[in-house]
Amino acid sequence: MREARNDAPAELTMELRDYLVLLRAFWWIPCAFALAGFVGGWIFAPPAPYESFFRATVVMAGDTENPGSAERPELMILDDLLSLVQSHAYAELTFEAIPANQRGTITVSGIQRSLTESRYGRVATVVVSGSDPDEVAAIAPAAASVFPGAVNAYLVAPGSQPASVQLLDPPREPTKSSTRRYLIVGATAFAMFALGTWIVWLGGSTRLLKNQRIRSARPGSARSRDAKKSSR
């Protein structure tokens, strides 16, 4: 009679202790993957941009900075600062404030892409970033000089009392901002390291499963005897 076959699906499993022993033996695999990820991330990650920034306070008349008060809708102006800074209108004002002899290849669209803003309370921080330090150095002071007028021209309703916009920190010399680049390189290296450890686990589990199948197929094994008994 034919022996009964066990069609139960095999599972790739491994005890943690066995995996740690295997990982200790093949530590070079995840390390090699991490090194490849680090080199690849360093080569293909975008270069660190140059940045300059300025800070300014934006205070409305009678503003109590109470976001829960429906009687102070002018507080929405502070939330609209990012849209203003990244707008084409603000980029045009900034471009016009740059001296003609410093404009070089600077364009309005390039200025618009280089600007971003964040706010903490009434303090707005406007950041200018780009690959050319000379362009960043020309854009930053121009953007700071037109910022108060742009806030009152585009965010304050006509006839209302103008906002008080005062610079706290003037633009500084552009410096390289490498934080984002390092994060990309580190994340790539870590992901490749995790892939290497998974490959070690997969190889060990596959080998363990193969050995179990070989042992169970040998004559006289417990699984083989059970199969013969069930076939009688």
- Contacts of residue 38, defined as CB under 8 A and 6 or more positions apart, other chains included, come to 185, 188, 189, 192
Q: What average pLDDT is seen over the chain?
A: 82
pLDDT at 108 (0 to 100): 95
Q: In this structure, are 86 and 106 located in the same domain?
A: yes
Mean pLDDT (whole number) for 123-135: 93
Q: Contact at 8 Å (CB) between 156 and 59?
A: no
Percent of the chain with pLDDT over 70: 78
Q: In this structure, are 170 and 69 located in the same domain?
A: yes
Q: In this structure, are 170 and 57 located in the same domain?
A: yes
Lowest mean pLDDT, pick from 66-75, 85-94, 160-169, 198-207: 66-75
In a domain, 2, yes or no: no
Give bridge partners of residue 165 from the DSSP assignment.
Answer: 58
The pLDDT-based confidence of 3 (bands split at 50, 70, 90) is: very low
Q: In this structure, are 125 and 212 located in the same domain?
A: no
Q: In this structure, are 217 and 146 located in the same domain?
A: no
Q: Contact at 8 Å (CB) between 83 and 77?
A: no
120: DSSP letter: E
Structural domain that includes position 203:
16-44+182-231
In a domain, 3, yes or no: no
Q: Which helix (H) or strand (E) holds 30?
A: helix 28-44
Give bridge partners of residue 166 from the DSSP assignment.
Answer: 57
Q: In this structure, are 212 and 121 located in the same domain?
A: no
Q: In this structure, are 124 and 173 located in the same domain?
A: yes
**Burial (CB count <10 Å: 0-12, 13-18, 19+), residue 123:** middle
Number of domains in the chain: 2
Q: In this structure, are 190 and 158 located in the same domain?
A: no
134: helix, strand or coil: helix
- For residue 52 the two structure tokens come to 């300059």
Q: In this structure, are 93 and 204 located in the same domain?
A: no
Residue 12 clears pLDDT 90, i.e. is over it: no
Instruction: Please report, as a single letter, which amino acid is at residue 71.
Output: E
- For residue 87 the two structure tokens come to 């707008």
Distance in angstroms (rounded) separating the CA atoms of residues 74 and 153: 14
